[in-house]
Structure 1
Amino acid sequence: MAAPLEPFNLPDLVLASVRQPGDDVCSDVHIRDGVVAAIAPSGRTGTLPAATRTVDFDGRYIIPGLWDEHVHMTQWALASNRLDLSGAGSAREAAGVVGSHLARMGGEDPAPHAVTTLVGAGFRDAVWTDVPSLDLLDGATNGRPAALISHDLHCVWLNSAAARRYGVPVDASGLLREGPAFAVTRQLGKLPAAVVDSWVQRAGRAAAARGVVGIVDFEMTWNRDVWLRRIAGGFASLRVEAGVYPQDLDRAVTDGLLTGLEVAGSDGLLTVGPLKVLIDGSLNTRTAFCVDPYPDGGHGLLTVSGTELLALLVRARQAGFVPAVHAIGDAANQVALDAFEAAGIAGRVEHAQFVRSEDLPRYGRLGVTASVQPAHALDDRDAAEANWVGRTDRSFPLRSLLAAGATLALGSDAPVAPLDPWTAMSAATARARQDGRGPWHAEQALTRQEAITASTRGRGRLRLGDRADLAVLDGDPLTVPDAQFAAMPVAATLVAGRFTHGDA
């Protein structure tokens, strides 16, 4: 069990012989009371308290700690312990993976009432040439309940046994989308708290090993009490901003919560996050609300009307909550920006995968942050090209958003993409995977420095007085080759001057 985070009881710390990206000269970083107290040329920090600890990093590079601005932490921890379907190239192949797994596990349990549901995750039916069906999954599972969650979390493929177990009607496809899919996903996550918390502990340590110091957690539940339990149980790897959903807003207000409030009893690790509002679906599920039609003629789903959204934003303003509006399609982004403008409130748009050119300047003018997940540009590339041949120039317009004055905040949407900011930053800067395939809309790429700034809450470089949430790297992130940048070795991570990874 990790020790609680107690930054103000730690002795002074000097991180010796470190360089900021682009610098040739090494510095020593002096940390006191959880903040950066001095940055001086190596060996010139002056007289230090007797108890000061010095750790020499031998010329490595130091940056502000990284944030993942959009995570579903419980789902990420669960996904790492579920059957991986991300490599399935068709519905039939996905069913085959399920069937093979069950065969290896010994087939059907002799006590059907005690059989646990087989849960798979990560399928991408938008790029399949065949379609999921109830019969196909039934044929692969031999009566064992099975629920397969799409990579974007907006769709669940059930077999008949699972549909009966969870009491949901399904048609011949076996698919549930949006609200019904979310409801079943929540049911699938109802495992013993001790089990899930141990998986979250492991995921937190893995994130810290990638230089992550904080996440914005948008798990679809009342999340404050869950995180207080985890922190009391020893979770200390990261700072957490826990989002609130509209169904819990009254409860949050009654409890005196508002965005940015540090939650008592959390050792400074837990803060109240934004109010999350979903107004459309996703690209893989073909429910993102878009201006141009999908091949079937539909435009996706607007799940919250402009009028309803405006009322929610006004309520958020009154309650002291920063709104974070999930809007993937360009039509949804227009609705979101209209509501922000009418409400007279700044906030965030989560995803902003497709944005009309005429809406780009509104991000800067209205002070709306574009909370984007660059790895999705690579994941959704084929689906976008299949849906809108020759019309994908508005897809993931990171450069255009930045040029229009928008603030960018990078994240993963884990488990949709890995909780690894280097994956996100690599996708933002190279617009391509490390697989030899050429970049997609390279004109929308960010520079390395812009990507780091968007992953460190605008900090970019260390400054005096900064909170000592830091990452120490084995290479200069501005100059290493693309492959090394994507897999950047992290020597150490600190939160409030306390090592969460790599303590020498």
Structure 2
Amino acid sequence: MKESKPTRQAPPKARQPSRLGWLVSSVAAVLLLSRFFLNTREEYTLCSRNNSIYTVNETYPRAQCISICGGRITAVGNEADIRRSWIERFLYSAGTTVQYIEPEQIIVPGLADAHAHLLQQGYKMQLQLDGATSVQVVVERIKSYIMAHPDVHADTSRWIEGMGWDQTKWPGAKFPTAADLSSDPLLRGRPILLFRVDVHAAWVSERVLELMAPLPPDLDVEGGTIIRDASGEPTGILVDNAMSLIPQPPWAPEQYVDFFNTAVAEALKFGLTSVHDASTNPDAVTFFKGVAEAGKLPIRLYLMAVPFSENFTDWQPSQIERLTNYGAHGRLNLRSVKLFTDGALGSWGAALIQPYTDKPDTHGIMRSSPETMDQLIRSAWKANMQVNVHCIGDRANEIVLDVFEDILAEEARNGNADVAAFRPRIEHAQILQASDLDRIGRLGVLASVQPTHGTSDMWYAETRLGPDRIKGAYAYRTLLEASPNKVLPLGSDFPVEGVNPLLGFYAAVSRLGVDGRSPHGGGGWFPAERLTRAQALKGMTLDAAYASFAETELGSLAVGKRADFVILDRNIMEVDPSEILRTRVTATVIDGKAAYGTLGSRKTWQW
């Protein structure tokens, strides 16, 4: 039988993908690539089983979980919602890390100090005089310092420097003298410089007075005072601008490093992720830039540049280098200046309209004249720098508000009516007339305040000011309610006060000292000026971020923002006020990474 030849068949046509199939394939490829890309960055979800993540976000004030990827927050919500989200299903179907905090712990946004002095904190810690109850206690601490430092003991020409004394806590509440520092043979003949707790007065030894000779013959220097005895001789106390006469040695490079490392370690230990450095001179700016460039800035810094000299002759704000998210990690910013109007209440340097009640021969000290303040503020404003002005007394606040009011009126006439574009700040805003408490809010000027100043000063403030003037002092609730946007940035002014921001939180919500006392009893000093806990937390997070033009990046736990947050070992929003000061930081997290402590226990979600 004849075999038939097989017929040749045409090859099948290649199947053309449908439009839907092509779309699915493309999305899958993108998702696969996205998963690979995202997995190259640290990612995790942090949860609280009892909804104890306080976001400082009005639309979602408390949450169970936050997700972090690449140093930013990618999700905030309930655990179930995050589990069900489509992006979790596609990208993390193999499982993703979830960490749970302990039941008693809470998470809050990274804490900020809206007014502090970072390097000066490290400087202070070399010889701390806080809590000294008499001149003799100070002398004993200096002796202990000398004995603990053989190089200082062997060289009597080495300067000994410290900070923190407060004569209001001593018997008689009188200023000390240079002779007091010669009362012990170990101290005699040494150059000793000790700054008062508010850093508005300095106490120097007889050797330093010799190095300063000849001193100006007049009782005062412009913007400062040389305290003299009955015979006209200097006692060893110099107030405000008179401190510039002290030939203090400049810091060596290694001191900058030591002071910085010491202060940053303290800040991170207490949950600070951002610090507004409220008096940064050019040398310090250069130092911070170098640290940031080297990728060794573990904390966010917002710098306030200060004039180059006391007489302002070489100060040109237009030549200040602006820094925006500068450095390897983008944590350094400089877009503001800091000016000083008056001194401090504790050294009778706050500029008052009426004389001091307990010292009627003085109205305090204007470190800069009204005319100079007008000139300085306008020159900085013209250079498009945020202007932040130190004002303690009611006269100082009145003068600066006058300048701000005039400038803002001019801006409005030029079509620039939005004060939020400028955000001028008054640092301290400590003693104001009732009319100025209203005006600061009406103008939209930010009051940057320090709650621990109120509780530190409350034992002598009314003696200084009298029963009427005190009503406009440390009026934090009034200032907040007057603010059109309800913004009240909170700080500490460390090293004047302690670094721990919970000291300020406690002072703000209780108006009590750390011992639970106040001149008005256990209910707090002028308790109507207490802040709520939510207001206080916002003041040291979102309000501080707003005061540094960073509210879109920092200050609350919201999707897209930087993953800066703090884990606390107890719920400061609910515990008894006395428990607040026992709170410890479990972890301080910046850009999603623990800069201090550790995160919670880990497990993996499986879908």
TM-score strictly above 0.5:
yes
TM-score, normalised to structure 2's length? Answer: 0.74
Output the CA distance in 1 between the equivalents of 2:39 and 2:242: 46
Check conservation: 1:135, 1:172, Cα contact below 8 A.
Answer: no
Aligned residue among 98, 101, 119 for 1:57: 101
Check conservation: 1:428, 1:451, Cα contact below 8 A.
Answer: yes
Task: Letter of the 2:359 partner, please give it.
Answer: D
Aligned residue among 148, 161, 177 for 1:119: 161
Matched, 1:207 2:251: no
2:67 maps to: 30
Output the CA distance in 2 between the equivalents of 1:474 and 1:413: 25
1:415 maps to: 495
Where 1:191 maps in the other structure, the secondary structure is coil
Output the CA distance in 2 between the equivalents of 1:274 and 1:155: 26
Task: Letter of the 2:235 partner, please give it.
Answer: S
Where 1:323 maps in the other structure, the secondary structure is strand
Output the CA distance in 1 between the equivalents of 2:534 and 2:204: 44
Q: Rg bigger for which structure?
A: 2
Output the CA distance in 2 between the equivalents of 1:287 and 1:324: 19
Where 2:398 maps in the other structure, the secondary structure is helix
Q: How do residues 107-256 of structure 1 correspond to structure 2 at under 5 angstroms?
A: 109=153, 111-112=155-156, 115-128=157-170, 129=172, 130-140=174-184, 141-165=187-211, 169=215, 171-181=233-243, 184=246, 187=248, 190-222=250-282, 223-232=284-293, 235-247=296-308, 253-254=318-319, 256=321
Check conservation: 2:68, 2:74, Cα contact below 8 A.
Answer: yes
1:3 maps to: none
TM-score, normalised to structure 1's length? Answer: 0.88
Q: How do residues 387-406 of structure 1 correspond to structure 2 at under 5 angstroms?
A: 387-391=464-468, 392-405=470-483
Distance 1:211 1:99, change over 3 A: closer
Output the CA distance in 2 between the equivalents of 1:247 and 1:308: 15
Spell out, residue by residue over 1:133-157, the C-alpha distance to the aligned partner (whole angstroms, 9 max, x if none): 2222222322122111100001111
Where 1:235 maps in the other structure, the secondary structure is coil
Q: How do residues 38-77 of structure 1 correspond to structure 2 at under 5 angstroms?
A: 38-45=75-82, 46-47=88-89, 48-49=91-92, 53-59=97-103, 60-77=105-122
Matched, 1:347 2:424: yes
Check conservation: 2:114, 2:492, Cα contact below 8 A.
Answer: yes
Spell out, residue by residue over 1:435-482, the C-alpha distance to the aligned partner (whole angstroms, 9 max, x if none): 131321111111111000000023775222222111122222210121
Offset at 1:65?
0.9
Distance 1:232 1:24, change over 3 A: closer
Number of aligned positions between the proteins: 490
Distance 1:161 1:250, change over 3 A: closer
Matched, 1:15 2:60: no
Output the CA distance in 1 between the equivalents of 2:246 and 2:350: 20
Matched, 1:81 2:126: yes
Output the CA distance in 2 between the equivalents of 1:162 and 1:362: 45
Check conservation: 1:197, 1:230, Cα contact below 8 A.
Answer: no
Output the CA distance in 1 between the equivalents of 2:335 and 2:506: 26
Matched, 1:383 2:464: no
Distance 1:162 1:9, change over 3 A: farther
Check conservation: 2:516, 2:578, Cα contact below 8 A.
Answer: no
Check conservation: 1:20, 1:461, Cα contact below 8 A.
Answer: no
Task: Letter of the 1:428 partner, please give it.
Answer: A
Task: Letter of the 1:218 partner, please give it.
Answer: A
Task: Letter of the 2:534 partner, please give it.
Answer: Q
Offset at 1:395?
1.8
Task: Letter of the 1:455 partner, please give it.
Answer: M
Offset at 1:228?
1.7
Spell out, residue by residue over 1:126-180, the C-alpha distance to the aligned partner (whole angstroms, 9 max, x if none): 4541332222222232212211110000111111112334667374310111123
Check conservation: 1:208, 1:501, Cα contact below 8 A.
Answer: yes
Distance 1:194 1:135, change over 3 A: closer
Distance 1:12 1:25, change over 3 A: same
Distance 1:456 1:32, change over 3 A: same
Spell out, residue by residue over 1:208-238, the C-alpha distance to the aligned partner (whole angstroms, 9 max, x if none): 2222110011234113211122334553331
Output the CA distance in 2 between the equivalents of 1:465 and 1:168: 60
1:307 maps to: 371
Matched, 1:365 2:442: yes
The more displaced of 118-127 and 141-150 is 118-127
Distance 1:207 1:8, change over 3 A: farther
2:504 maps to: 424
Distance 1:251 1:289, change over 3 A: closer
Output the CA distance in 1 between the equivalents of 2:164 and 2:424: 30
Output the CA distance in 2 between the equivalents of 1:107 and 1:232: 34
Check conservation: 1:69, 1:412, Cα contact below 8 A.
Answer: yes
Check conservation: 1:243, 1:275, Cα contact below 8 A.
Answer: yes
Output the CA distance in 1 between the equivalents of 2:466 and 2:590: 46
Output the CA distance in 2 between the equivalents of 1:346 and 1:9: 39
Distance 1:444 1:325, change over 3 A: same
Distance 1:408 1:33, change over 3 A: same
The more displaced of 467-476 and 68-77 is 467-476
Output the CA distance in 1 between the equivalents of 2:63 and 2:123: 42
Check conservation: 1:283, 1:383, Cα contact below 8 A.
Answer: no
Distance 1:184 1:215, change over 3 A: farther
Where 2:489 maps in the other structure, the secondary structure is strand
Output the CA distance in 2 between the equivalents of 1:469 and 1:24: 16
2:138 maps to: 94
Output the CA distance in 1 between the equivalents of 2:254 and 2:155: 26
**Could you say what the CA RMSD is over the residues aligned between the two structures, in angstroms?**
3.0
Offset at 1:102?
4.8
Q: Which structure 2 segments of 5+ residues have no match?
A: 1-37, 83-87, 216-225, 227-232, 409-421, 544-550, 600-607
Offset at 1:15?
1.6
The more displaced of 70-79 and 27-36 is 27-36
Q: Percent identity?
A: 27
Output the CA distance in 1 between the equivalents of 2:407 and 2:132: 44
1:270 maps to: 332
Output the CA distance in 2 between the equivalents of 1:78 and 1:111: 20
Offset at 1:247?
3.3
1:4 maps to: none
Check conservation: 2:108, 2:566, Cα contact below 8 A.
Answer: yes
